[in-house]
Amino acid sequence: MTPEEREELLAGYALGSLSTPDALDADRLVRTDASAEAELRAFREIADLIALSVPLRQADPALRQRVMSAARQGRVWRPALWRRYWPVAGLAASLLIVTFWAVSLQTSLVHLRQQTEQLSAIVEADAKRLDKLGDPTAPGVQQANAIGVPLSQLQTTASDQQVLIAVQTDPAAILGQFDTTAASHGASGQYVWSNNADAGVVTVRDLPQLPLGGAYRVWLEDGLSRLMVARSFAPDRNGKAEIVLQADGKMKPVRIYVVAASRADDPRSTGPVVLLADVTRASLSSTLVP
Amino acid sequence: MAALGDGDLEALEGLYDRYSTLVFSVSLRVLHDTQLAEDVVQEVVLRLWRQPSSYDPTRGRFISWLMSVTRNRSLDELRRVTRRLRSEDLEEEPGRELPAPEGVDDPQAGLLLAERRAAVRAAMTRLPPAQRRVIELAYFGGLTQVEIAQATGDPLGTVKTRVRLGMQKLRESLEEFINEDGAVDDGGGIWT
């Protein structure tokens, strides 16, 4: 890497304008080179100053009263939806369609919740049969079929359960916090990783909402800088999610990245790194089970 | 910040009076929507009110943190409403520009902050237009360098070079506002 390329990388990283592969390169550089870290810090301070270049504009004087009123009442004032979505509000026909869709979705969610509860009961009651999920005659599989749960869903749930058990019972499992980035925007998270099980669990919260069509992905990186997409996920409306990870056994992850991908349907799509964790960093880690 | 933690509303009013215009202006620059920008002002101020500890003085000056939070929150909102407007496509932002002379009598932010604003504006103005454009598209538009290249029709390498050269020049122009430890000096005040 030439000095110019290095500076381009750090300047772009400070502005938050790098794509995921470049951001990973920049992160790696900063972690391994103290002078690069200092340079990035200086660029970030410059980036923060750029905001001061805007011409000053006067907000509605009534805003001050609204903010103070909300603070006094200890509640968050939220703008009326009609004001934010005024152009859409006029489309009465669309509203009807959306209403119908919402009712259908609610019905589906109730049904799915019931299925999940039944499925959990099956898995919990008969953990010894998890290895027999490929057998259509196994009682657990027959019970799942009876309530309309697809076999693939049953296998995924069962697999996640097995991973969870393996991670939680590993006395050497590592517990750590995610580091934030310029794209975190208040998000945070922690992870548990078991090298013995080649698996782990990630818990995140306050993840920013993504544009329609986007998705979050968890990437694993090993000591040879090889990357593997471990799982895609969508957080709930509060930005929370729990993700079970399983490495392929060929790589030993040293870092975990949570990345905001621009397109959920394209596994090659990339975006900014929102959270990152160095699994090998002892200072942030402690054993999960004494 | 301790006063905010104690629930001192006067401290919150002081913070609002000093910084709300700047927060609103930055958010308006990103969102180009008065109502959404006011929403961001409200969220940023109330976030400090509810969680004063969200600002950690050991990680930099308050004004840097505030601008970073404002920009990030505004970009979140921009992405949420999927309004990818670019500065060159826009008319003048709505709202009334304050008539106070820059850097002399800024009624909202204080003299020292106004001096820094004047210096940053001058430094941005001195940049070649192409360099200023890519930096503004990245900072205020939240675009990646790849997206900037697609939007402007310039090669990706050219975009990267312009970002580097522009940031270098800003760094040289604004060196006096950066302390030896890299922290921006915002001139002291109640929040530093």
The answer to whether B98 faces chain A, any CB pair under 8 Å, is yes
**Nearest by CB: A46 against B68, B80, B170:** B170
In tens, the pLDDT along A116-137 reads 566 556 555 554 445 555 566 6
Contact A51 B161 (CB under 8 A): no
Quickly state the pLDDT bin for B155 (edges 50, 70, 90): very high
Residue B139 has a pLDDT of 92
CB contact under 8 A, B72 and A53: no
pLDDT at res. A149: 59
CATH 1.10.1740.10 range(s) for chain B read: 2-90
State the average pLDDT over residues A230-243: 84
Least confidently predicted of A88-97, A105-114, A203-212, B11-20: A88-97
CATH architecture type of domain B100-191: Orthogonal Bundle (1.10)
* Secondary structure (3-state) at A126: coil
Taking alpha carbons only, the member of B99, B77, B101, B120 closest to residue A58 is B99
pLDDT of B96 reads: 47
CATH architecture assignment, domain B2-90: Orthogonal Bundle (1.10)
DSSP B176-188: GGB-TTS-B----
Among left, alpha and beta (phi > 0; psi -120 to 50; other), residue A272 is beta
Q: Is B168 in the A-facing interface, judged by CB distances under 8 Å?
A: yes
Regarding predicted confidence, which is higher, A189 or A143? A189
Pick the residue with more confidence: A35 or A96?
Answer: A35
Residue B25: pLDDT band (50, 70, 90) is very high
From the list B97, B12, B16, B88, the residue with the least C-alpha distance to B49 is B12
pLDDT surpasses 90 at A220: no
Q: Is A209 close to B80, i.e. CB distance below 8 A?
A: yes
- Nearest Cα of chain B lies from the Cα of A175 at a distance, in angstroms, of 23
Residues on chain A touching B177 (C-beta within 8 angstroms):
49
Rounded to an integer, the average pLDDT of A1-18 is 91
Is residue B124 pLDDT above 90, yes or no?
yes
Q: What is the mean pLDDT of residues A8-26?
A: 89
Residues in chain A: 290
For A112-135, b/e burial (b = at least 16 CB within 10 A) is eeebeebbeebbeeeeebbeebee
B18 interfacial to chain A (CB closer than 8 Å): no
Give A52's contacts in chain B (Cβ within 8 Å).
22, 67, 113, 116-117, 120-121
| Phi, psi of B152, deg, nearest 5 | -95, -15
**Within an 8 Å CB–CB cutoff, is residue B34 touching chain A?**
yes
C-alpha separations of B78 from A171, A215, B162 in Å: 45, 17, 24
Question: pLDDT digit string (tens) for B43-93?
Answer: 999 888 888 877 877 777 788 888 888 998 898 888 777 544 444 444 444
Nearest by Cα to A21 from B16, B156, B91, B84: B156
Q: Does B132 touch chain A (CB under 8 A)?
A: no
pLDDT digits (tens, 9 = 90+) for A204-214: 988 887 777 77
**Which range among A186-190, B4-8, B40-44, B123-127 shows the weakest confidence by mean pLDDT?**
B4-8
Question: Is residue B103 left, alpha or beta, with left meaning phi > 0 and alpha meaning psi from -120 to 50?
Answer: left
Candidates B144, B146, B182; nearest CB to A41 = B182
- Residue of A263 and A50 predicted with greater confidence: A50
Q: What distance in Å separates the CA atoms of residue B192 and residue B182, rounded to the nearest whole number?
A: 15
| The predicted structure's pLDDT at residue B1 | 63
Q: CA of B10: which chain A residue's CA is closest? A: A68
What residues of chain B lie within 8 A of the CB of A76, using their CB?
43, 46
A202 against A212, higher pLDDT: A202
The alpha carbon torsion through B103, B107, B110, B111 (nearest 10 deg) reads 30
Q: Kindly list the distances between the CA atom of residue A148 and the CA atoms of A117, A118, A141, A142, A151, in Å, as whole numbers in the listed order.
A: 13, 11, 11, 10, 9
- Residues in chain A closer than 8 A to B163 (CB atoms): 8, 11-12, 15, 17
Contact A226, A210 (CB under 8 A): no
Backbone angles phi and psi of B143, in degrees to 5: -90, 145
Residues from chain B that touch A272, judged by Cβ atoms under 8 A, are 144
| A28/A129: higher pLDDT | A28
Set of chain B residues whose Cβ sits within 8 Å of the Cβ of A8: 160-161, 163-164
> What residues in B contact A82, CB-CB < 8 Å?
none
Residue B28 CA to residue B21 CA, distance in Å, equals 10
**Average pLDDT estimate for A61-86:** 68
Q: Tell which wins on pLDDT, B45 or A106.
A: B45
Q: Give me the percent of chain A exceeding a pLDDT of 90.
A: 7
Please give the model's pTM, rounded to 2 decimal places: 0.56
Between strands A227-233 and A179-180, the pairing is: unpaired
Q: 3-class SS at A271? A: coil
B142–chain A Cβ distance below 8 A for any pair: yes
Surface-to-core class of residue A81, CB atoms within 10 Å of its CB (0-12 exposed, 13-18 middle, 19+ buried): exposed
* Contact present, B21 and A56 (Cβ < 8 Å): yes
Residue B149 has pLDDT above 70, yes or no: yes
Q: Find the closest chain B residue to A78 by CA distance.
A: B39
Task: Provide the mean pLDDT of chain A.
Answer: 74
Cβ separation of A51 and B71 shorter than 8 Å?
A: yes
Q: Is B53 on the interface with A (CB under 8 A)?
A: no
CA distance A233 to A210: 12
Domain with CATH 1.10.10.10 in chain B: 100-191
For residue B182, pLDDT over 80 is answered with no
Cβ count near B111 (within 10 Å): 12
The DSSP result for A230-258, as a single string, is EEEE---TTS-EEEEEE--SS--EEEEEE
DSSP B59-99: GS-HHHHHHHHHHHHHHHHHHHTT----GGG--SPSSEEP-
- Residue A170 in 3-state DSSP? coil
Q: Is B138 on the interface with A (CB under 8 A)?
A: yes
Give yes or no for B128 touching A (CB within 8 A). Answer: no
Spatial CA neighbour of B138 closest among A21, A51, A24:
A51
pLDDT at A281: 61
Contact A84, B36 (CB under 8 A): yes
Q: What is the pLDDT of residue B116?
A: 82
CB-CB under 8 Å, A211 with B171? no
Q: Are residues A17 and B35, on separate chains, in Cβ contact within 8 Å?
A: no
CA B30 to chain centre: 9
What percent of chain B is helix, strand and coil (3-state, nearest 5)? 65, 0, 30
CA pair distance A47, A30, nearest whole angstrom:
17
DSSP code at position A268: T
**CB count in 10 Å sphere of residue A200:** 31
